[in-house]
Amino acid sequence: MTHPLVLPTALQLQLNELIIGLFLLTGFGMTVARQIQATLFGFIAQSLLLAASAFVLGVHPVSPHLLALAAVTLVSKPILIPFVLQRLVPREVYSKRELTQRVSITTSLMIALALAVAAYFFALPLLRSGAPLVSVGNVAIGFAGLFVGLYQVAARNEAVAQLLGILAMENGAFLAAIAIAPDFPLIAELAIAFDVPLLALIVGLLTRALHEYVGSTDVGTLVSLREDAGH
Amino acid sequence: MPLLAALVPALKRSEKVVLPLSVLSAAVVFSLVVIATIDVLTLGGVVAIPHWIELDGFGALLELLISFVGMTAALYSWGDLGFGRGTPGQVRGYAANFNLFVMSMLAIPLTVEPGLAWIAVGLTTLFSVLLVSYENTHDALEAAWKYATLTLVGSAVAVLGFLVLFWAMRTAGGDDFTWRGLAAIASHLPPALVTVAFAFILIGLGTKTGLVPLHTWLPDAHSQAPSPVCALLSGVETSTALYVILRLVPVFRSANTLHVNAWLLIVGFISLGTAAFLLLQAQDYKRLFAFSTVEHMGIVLVAVGMGTALASYGAAWQLATHALAKSLCFYASGAALAAFGTRMIANTGDLVGRSRIAAVALFIGVLAIAGAPPFAVFLSEFAIARAAFTASQSFVGLMLIFFIGIAFFGLFGRAIRVIFGPPPAAVHSADQAHSVNVPMVTAIVIAMVPVVLFGVWIPEPLARLFELSSRALQ
């Protein structure tokens, strides 16, 4: 009913599939990258792919919502957020190699893969009961992006890496949104254009304060607030 | 209703200015909310932009609470941070974040569009993070970091929940993505999608509400922040996140195959029970009140989970009394902190001898929040328990009374130690710069009025609001 009679061409769908496949790969890359700079590059690539998916599915039949989503994503995530973070967070943080990862890289990769497979099976019953969608892959990979991002927040110790994990979760949610809520009123655009850069700004400020007052952005070592701790 | 729209500029205006102006702005906002509430009561609801910005009874109740606590918190902030106690930059930053934080909370009940509500909930986190880290100590930064990451992760989980809900609405042929529109077609929504949406939204926003086991950030953030910020975080911010969940409860309830009431009871009791036992061993009196917030959120969920009109009435009532009593508790602990210079219960004692006003405020605050008569919280908790027995859910009622009883002993026993206990052996030099001053006392007194008053008398309009809220929860 809400889905237009004009369907995207096979070429569009194939292109989209390539894009979302790469999207998932960047998610894995961000999780296991040791250097913060590399995680940031992973995030930039992932955001570009998110914008590309919205663009490819939005050009034919023309969907103003998806095109707007592609445009704001393009401006805010790969450009604005790295800019804000580079300005706020001291340079030495980016070149740092995170040697204190809680889980080894191989194990991390295996866990991330398992989460992606789980997300696929998680999405299957939803796809069966919901209205038919233009792109099924966006839902499964969107859920996978969310789960892998969550794992990144849990597994990484560095402040910036955790922040990028949260943003990767949002990327996953919006990748799914392209398929399941292409006409979600205004919200996605508003959120990406306004909310997400603000998030980077605030958490970036907090990271800078951590660097300045605590002397480290290794947030994994922040464990002084406990019930039994006499502080 | 145009008056309500004026809320936002009214707050924006005070953004760059200092603390007294925040007080003025908060007072103006409070009067505007009162006017809007009267409109809601006479007209049954106010509509600014149909399907986007509307206000009904339940929303008005929340608006009243937020703006009232916002007002006392602004007053207390003036006393706490004004008078040359912070650097100009610090105070400006605080005032800006404070007003934006209050504004973002006020925005939540104003919207009937779940997506907008989600954005507003996200903004409350963003604007309050720097308030939590205000003191820039190791502990404050750690608390702020945990608060930011956990609630933002929750927010990302919740947005996928809302997106799936939108998909479900489209599948059912719906076109009106509002609380009302969703409830109207709730029984046609595909169960698989609704279940996932419910889980994601409950987990995502439950993080923000402080539901166990997603509460770990809450005692940290709610104890490390400056006291007026704690009052806002604990008193109303958790309630606004809960409000968004509660708004969707009727939708989830009428969708088939999902035992929403049972889930709410389970989640509510886990929070209530865990918090009650944690209260018994809290070492820090501000953390004590933070755990009490987890406890009260649990009580509200249990009440809603009972599913009867009477219990929902009690839930709305409980939201109100908790906000009022909890803000008083945090102002009182702020005053106690000024007297002792420490938050650790073991290093305190004999508050009566140090600061009469802090002792009185803390005594009344603790009695009130623990649910002793004749204070407001007693009546609302009593109403919920009675609702359980009337609906022959005696087991629920007994569990409720049992946990509230444990929490009472935890809170009361600890507070007695602080107020009347032997004077601390190692005397911390009371920070003279942070002694209690006139704006702080005024804030405490204003906060005390409804806690005492509503314990003996509920004004007719307020009772009407609870009734309207209860209807919104059915």
Question: What is this structure's pTM?
Answer: 0.91
Q: How far is A210 from chain B (nearest CA, A)?
A: 6
Mean pLDDT along residues A84-107: 79
Average pLDDT along chain A: 85
pLDDT at residue B18, rounded to an integer = 62
Asked if B281 lies within 8 A of A227 by C-beta distance, the reply is yes
> What residue numbers bound the domain in which B306 lies?
260-474
CB nearest to A210's CB, from B141, B190, B219: B141
The rounded distance, in Å, linking the Cα atoms of A206 and B127 is: 12
Max CA pair span of chain B: 70
- Percentage with pLDDT > 70 across chain A: 91
The 10 Å CB-count burial string (b at 16+, else e) for B233-262 is bbbbbbbbbbbbbbbbbbbbbbbeebebbe
**Contact residues, chain B, for A153 at CB < 8 Å:** 149, 153
Q: How far is B116 from chain A (nearest CA, A)?
A: 7
pLDDT at residue A229, rounded to an integer = 46
Q: Are A31 and A164 in contact (CB under 8 A)?
A: no
Could you tell me which residues are beta bridge partners of residue A35?
A: A97
pLDDT at residue B56, rounded to an integer = 87
Helices then strands, counting H and E runs in chain A, come out as 10, 0
Q: CA nearest B224 in A: which residue? A: A225
- Asked if B152 has any chain A CB less than 8 Å from its own CB, the reply is yes
Q: How far is B115 from chain A (nearest CA, A)?
A: 6
The 10 Å CB-count burial string (b at 16+, else e) for B375-404 is bbbbbbbbbbbebbeebebeebbebbbebb
The rounded distance, in Å, linking the Cα atoms of B360 and B354 is: 11
Q: Which of these, B377, B380, B378, lies nearest to B324 by C-alpha position?
A: B377
Q: Are A168 and A43 in contact (CB under 8 A)?
A: yes
**Contact residues, chain B, for A2 at CB < 8 Å:** 170
- Asked if B133 has any chain A CB less than 8 Å from its own CB, the reply is yes
Q: State the angle between helix axes of A196-209 and A81-88 in degrees (0 to 180), rounded to the nearest 10.
A: 10
- Asked if B420 has any chain A CB less than 8 Å from its own CB, the reply is no
pLDDT at residue B433, rounded to an integer = 47
Asked if A173 lies within 8 A of B149 by C-beta distance, the reply is no
CB nearest to B122's CB, from A195, A203, A214: A195
Q: In total, how many domains does chain B have?
A: 1
Q: Which of A143, A202, A208, A210 to mutate to test the interface with B (most CBs of B within 10 A)?
A: A202
pLDDT at residue B311, rounded to an integer = 92
* pLDDT tens-place values along chain B, 474 residues long: 434 444 544 454 444 456 777 788 888 888 888 888 888 888 877 777 777 888 888 999 999 999 999 999 989 988 887 665 667 777 777 888 888 888 889 889 988 889 889 999 999 999 999 899 888 888 889 999 999 999 999 999 999 999 999 999 988 888 888 888 898 888 888 888 999 999 999 999 999 998 988 888 898 898 889 999 999 999 999 999 999 999 999 899 887 667 888 999 999 999 999 999 999 888 888 889 999 999 999 999 999 999 899 999 999 999 999 999 999 999 999 888 888 888 888 888 778 878 888 889 999 999 999 988 888 899 999 999 999 998 888 899 999 999 999 999 889 888 888 888 888 765 555 554 457 788 888 999 999 999 889 988 888 999 999 999 998 888
pLDDT at residue A183, rounded to an integer = 79
**pLDDT at residue A108 is higher than 50:** yes
Place of tokens 């009690």: B314
Mean pLDDT along residues A185-201: 77
What DSSP element (H or E) covers B55? Answer: strand B53-55
**Count of alpha carbons within 13 angstroms of residue A43, beta-carbon side:** 30
**pLDDT at residue A230 is higher than 80:** no
The rounded distance, in Å, linking the Cα atoms of B122 and B293 is: 20
Q: What is the CA radius of gyration of chain B?
A: 21
pLDDT at residue B330, rounded to an integer = 93
**Count of alpha carbons within 13 angstroms of residue B303, beta-carbon side:** 31
The rounded distance, in Å, linking the Cα atoms of A108 and A102 is: 9
Max CA pair span of chain A: 66
**Count of alpha carbons within 13 angstroms of residue B146, beta-carbon side:** 25
